[in-house]
Amino acid sequence: MQIMDVTWGRAASVWWSIFWRTFLITVLLAIVFGFLTGFLLALAGLEEKTLLWGQLVGIACAIIGGVWAVKKVLEKEYRQYRLVLIPSNEAQMQQSLEN
C-alpha cells in the first residue's frame, strides 16, 4: 500500500468534504427536530423551556451530523486517493502476539 503525503490541498479537500456534509445534515436535522421540539413543548404548555431544549436538540443534531459526515467521507473515494483506517503499530503487535 502506497502512503501519500498529507498536503495542504488534500487536507483542504477533506476538510471541505466534512464541512459541507456536516453543515447540510445538521441544518436539515435541526429544522426537523427543532420544529418538533418546539411544537411538542408548546402543546405541553412549556414554552419557557423552548430555548434550553432547542439548544440541546441543536447540539445533538450537530454531533450526529458531524459523525455522519466523517463516516461518509471515510467511505468516499477521491480522484487520486481515499481515506482508510489501518491498525496502529501497537494494534498490529498485539494481534501478532495473540496469534
Q: What is the pTM of this model?
A: 0.79
List, as one string, the DSSP characters of 9-74. Answer: HHHHHHHHHHHHHHHHHHHHHHHHHHHHHHHHHHHTT-GGGHHHHHHHHHHHHHHHHHHHHHHHHH
Q: How many residues does the chain have?
A: 99
pLDDT digits (tens, 9 = 90+) for 65-95: 999 999 999 999 988 889 988 888 888 888 8
Question: How confident is the prediction for the chain on average, in pLDDT?
Answer: 92
Task: Report the percent of the chain where pLDDT is more than 90.
Answer: 69
